[in-house]
Amino acid sequence: MSETDLIDAVLDRHRRDGTRLMQILREIQEQLGWLSPATLTAIAGAIAWPRAKVEGTADFYSFFYTRPMGRFRVLWSDNITDRMLGSSDLMSAMCKKLWLEPGRVSEDGLVSVDTTSCTGMCDQGPALLVNSRAVTRMTQARVGEMVSLIRSETPVAEWPAEWFAIEDNIRRKDILLDHGLVPGQALAAALERGPQGMLAEIKSARLRGRGGAGFSTGQKWEACRSAAGHGADPARYVVCNADEGEPGTFKDRVLLNSYSSLVFEGMSIAGLVVGAKKGLLYLRGEYRYLLEPLQAALEARRRANLLGSNILGTAFEFDIEIHLGAGAYICGEESALIESLEGKPGRPRIRPPFPVTRGYLDQPTTVNNVETLAAACLIATHGSDWYAAHGTEKSTGSKILSVSGDCERPGIYEYPYGTTVRQVLEDCGASDYQAVQISGPSGICLAEAEFDRRIAFEDIPTAGAFMVFDETRDMFEVARNFAHFFAHESCGFCTPCRVGTTLVRNLMDKIARKHGSPYDIDELFKLHRLLQGASHCGLGNSACNPVFDTLNKFRPAYEHRLMSLNYEPAFDLDAALSQARQMTGRDDAGAHFPDEAEA
């Protein structure tokens, strides 16, 4: 097939519909390797969008390439947990063996090696993506074998299957992971209750969102249900947020891998309540390997009359579509996610209006986390009294934690809300711990004195990440890794976050290079105060949390790196003469700066 035919086939499959641009770009790229200027022009013409708009989207996402890439693209997951398992050394070794600089494509166009934000394999790292496929448990030996396979241009499909094995690692089950439901059971119960009855049940169960913000699910569904659709084609939508980009979080991956029936059923129940006929599941690009299994699961549900029209013999009509993301943490933010679903860069919208009144295609939309939707199945089946008997008064039910870092048994732990941090540490086999980062970089860093606090909305709310750091870990380096994450993931829309996250990253790097002074610490505090209030969305507002927390709780980790009490430049002055030395061949005393400390 010629390139044009190939592009046309993809475009036709998506009905030349611009809102499907993300999927169009991905599918074309999967076949052509990259998105050339001519390809973008062709796509823009076909979907009748301004070309710059198509390019704007292609340019936004980490996994879209507007420049030719290597035939093998290796992306090492760069979460702190991967680093703690030795990913930096492994990546350097790989680059060395391939004679390659990180981030560059080899001259023969064979391979590129780079880092990417957390790929959600923290319990089985170091992890990487090779041509969009996830590989776990990297070792020096695997690096060697992988380099040989790349050199011999062996297609990734022929690589050892065990490299791509992804474990669930479920260590503790509670009401959700031990649900005991058969497909259709919860949905039948919901249909029995009817939309109003089901809504009432969700409300009296006091279910709150598991995606981080903890908003009341009942309120959200009710607001969506009572919002009128707009325009010629009024509709309502259910969106399942499976972007799971918060570093250290991987519980949605396990839910989608082994509990997808529950998730799809939760979406259907939400559809029933809000009056939607269509659900969209936004799956992060890192979980590309789940796409086909999930599609097969949807097909099975359609065959079982659990999706489609006349569901379980009623008038209820609902179907689900899967959209794949392309490497952008910000798309976990619900309004950015909706922009992405519409084919645009993931830029958070101005709120209000909230998605429940104007969401996907400007229609009332409820966006819910994977786990929230799964939990709705329990409420449909067992009722609100049963559900609310679990957990605490303000946090009913259970929470799934993704435990990683310094512990013997990393993996998935489900607890009733109200469980102490110390309990989790004990269960996962952590010892000599000094800190836990809860809910990822945008969450909170706890020190030992706080380990009796509880996982609950009223105490320590969490989207699920639970990263353990023992006494050998340097909490400054942890915060610096997170600062790099935010600078990389800032969408760039608003000034404070676009520039501020990079300034924070640079200050952290300056301190790491031992060029820092107390002046730089003051600067970090100042940036924290600015970003927290002035940013457009949650990313910018929480981007300085890890720095702020560690500065307060692990200050000496910063202080022992400070170079002097006086202001210091961020760069090495002597190195700033390097090019001139090289060009003049000089190396006399005048071609160097005396040691800065004594100058």
Partner 1 sequence: MNATTTFHLDGEEIPFTPGQTIMQAAVAAGTYIPHLCWHPDFQVNGSCKLCTVKVNGRFGSSCTMEAQVGMEVENRTAEIDDKRRTLLQMLFVEGNHFCPSCEKSGDCSLQATAYELKMMSPHFDMFYPDRPVDASHPDVLLDFNRCIMCGLCVAASRDVDGKNVFYMGGRGLLGRRVHISSESGRLADTGFAVTDRAASICPVGVILPKRRGFAVPIGQRKYDLAPISEQVKVKTP
Partner 2 sequence: MNAPIAPPRKLRVATASLAGCFGCHMSILDIDERILKLLDLIEFDRSPLTDIKHCGPCDLGIIEGGLCNAENVHVLREFRKNCKILLALGACAINGGLPAQRNHLDLRDVLEEVYQTEYLVTHGGIPNDPELPLPLNKVHPLHEVVKVDYFLPGCPPPADAIWKLLTDLLAGRTPNLGHGLLHYD
Does position 353 bind partner 1 by CB under 8 A?
A: no
Residue 223 within binding range of ligand FMN, rule CB under 6 A: no
Close Cβ partners of 183 (under 8 Å, ≥ 6 residues apart): 261, 265, 301, 304, 306
209 touches ligand FMN (CB under 6 A):
yes
CA 384 from chain centre, in angstroms, equals 31
Q: For partner 2, which residue of 141, 228, 565, 583 counts as binding (CB under 8 A)?
A: 583
Q: Which residue in the set 2, 152, 472, 566 belongs to the binding site for partner 2 (CB under 8 A)?
A: 566
Residue 451, H or E segment:
none
404 three-class SS: strand
User: Cis link prior to 348 (omega < 30° from 0)?
Assistant: no
- With beta carbons less than 8 A apart as the criterion, state whether 235 and 276 touch: yes
β-pairing verdict for 433-438 and 444-447: antiparallel
Residue 248 in the binding site for ligand FMN (CB under 6 A): no
Q: Does 562 bind partner 2 (CB under 8 A)?
A: no
| Of the residues 133, 173, 488, 513, which one makes contact with partner 1 according to CB under 8 A | 488
Q: Cα–Cα distances in Å, from 259 out to 15, 120, 179, 263, 290?
A: 31, 17, 10, 7, 12
Asked if 468 interacts with ligand SF4 (CB under 6 A), we say no
**Distance in Å from the first CA to the final CA of the chain:** 68
Q: Which does 370 bind (CB under 5 to 8 A by kind): ligand SF4, partner 2, partner 1, none?
A: none
Least separation in angstroms between residue 584's CB and partner 2 is: 4
Contact call for residue 228 and partner 2 (CB under 8 A): no
354-383 binders of ligand FMN (CB under 6 A): 367-369, 372
Residue 137, judged by CB atoms within 10 A of its CB (0-12, 13-18, 19+), counts as middle
Q: Among 11, 23, 24, 57, which residue sits at the site for partner 1 (rule: CB under 8 A)?
A: 57
Residue 522 interacts with partner 2 (CB under 8 A)? no
Tell me which DSSP letter residue 585 carries.
T
CB of 572 to partner 2, least distance (A): 10
Residue 499 is a binding residue for partner 1 (CB under 8 A): yes
CB 100 within 8 A of CB 112: yes
345's contact among partner 1, ligand SF4, ligand FMN, none, with CB below 5 to 8 A by partner kind, is: partner 1
Strand, coil or helix: what is 133? strand
Size of the site for partner 1 (CB under 8 A): 44
**Whether 462 contacts 432, CB under 8 Å:** no
Tokens of 139: 């070792």
Q: Binding to ligand SF4 by residue 500, rule CB under 6 A?
A: no
Q: Other CB atoms closer than 10 Å to residue 377's CB: what's the count?
A: 26
Residue 212 contact among partner 1, ligand SF4, ligand FMN, none, beta carbon within 5 to 8 Å by kind: ligand FMN
Identify the helix (H) or strand (E) that includes residue 398. strand 398-405
Q: Which does 491 bind (CB under 5 to 8 A by kind): ligand FMN, partner 2, ligand SF4, none?
A: ligand SF4
Q: Work out whether 527 is an interface residue with ligand SF4 (CB under 6 A).
A: no
- Give the integer Cα–Cα distance in Å for 318 and 302: 10
Q: Which is nearer to ligand SF4, 412 or 497 (by Cβ)?
A: 497
Instruction: Give the residue at shortest CB distance from ligand SF4.
Output: 540
Smallest gap from Cβ 216 to ligand FMN, in A, equals 8
Tokens 């598991």: give the residue.
210
Cβ 489 to ligand FMN shortest distance, Å:
8
With beta carbons less than 8 A apart as the criterion, state whether 469 and 436 touch. Answer: yes
Cβ 197 to ligand SF4 shortest distance, Å = 38
Query: Which CB sits closer to partner 2, 556 or 585?
Result: 585
Q: Does 540 bind ligand SF4 (CB under 6 A)?
A: yes
Of 67, 58, 68, 71, nearest in space to 25 by CA:
58
Within 310-339, which residues bind partner 1 (CB under 8 A)?
Answer: 328
Report the relative pairing of strands 128-130 and 133-135 from DSSP bridges: antiparallel
User: Which residue of 55, 123, 222, 246 would you call a contact of ligand FMN, by CB under 6 A?
Assistant: 246
Q: Which of 97, 488 has the CB closer to partner 1?
A: 488
Instruction: Specify the DSSP class assigned to residue 323.
Output: E
Q: Does 567 bind partner 2 (CB under 8 A)?
A: yes
Return the amino acid letter for 358. Answer: R
Contact status: 230 vs partner 1 (CB under 8 A): no
Closest approach of partner 1 to the CB of residue 134, in Å: 22
Q: How far is the CB of 59 from partner 2 (least distance, A)?
A: 21
- Least Cβ distance, residue 487 to partner 1 (angstroms): 7
Of 126, 195, 218, 345, the one binding partner 1 by CB under 8 A: 345
Is the distance from CB of 54 to CB of 47 less than 8 angstroms?
A: yes
Q: How many other CB atoms are found less than 10 A from the CB of residue 74?
A: 26
Contact 281, 153 (CB under 8 A): no
**Of these partners, partner 1, partner 2, ligand SF4, none, which one is at the site of residue 41 (CB under 5 to 8 Å by kind)?**
partner 1
- CA distances 96 to 87, 112, 130, 364, Å, are 14, 12, 18, 52
From the CB of 392, what's the least distance to ligand SF4, in Å? 32
Rounding to the nearest 10 degrees, give the CA dihedral for residues 466, 87, 61, 153.
Answer: -140
- Give least dist CB 252 to ligand FMN, A: 7
For residue 110, count CB atoms less than 10 angstroms from its CB and return exposed for 0-12, middle for 13-18, buried for 19 or more: middle
What minimum distance in Å lies between the beta carbon of 456 and ligand FMN?
A: 15
* Residue 519 CB-density burial (10 A; 0-12 exposed, 13-18 middle, 19+ buried): middle
Quick one: which of 201, 333, 339, 520 contacts ligand FMN (CB under 6 A)? 333
Peptide bond into 355 cis (omega under 30): no
Residues facing residue 433 across a β-bridge:
470
Which chain residues interact with partner 2 by CB under 8 A? 519, 566-567, 569-571, 573, 575-586, 588, 590-591, 593, 599
Which chain residues interact with ligand SF4 by CB under 6 A? 330, 348, 490-494, 497-498, 535-537, 539-540
Which chain residues interact with ligand FMN by CB under 6 A? 209-213, 215, 241, 243-246, 330, 332-334, 367-369, 372, 537-539
Which chain residues interact with partner 1 by CB under 8 A? 37-38, 40-41, 50-53, 55-62, 328, 345, 350, 487-496, 498-503, 506, 526, 529-530, 533-536, 570
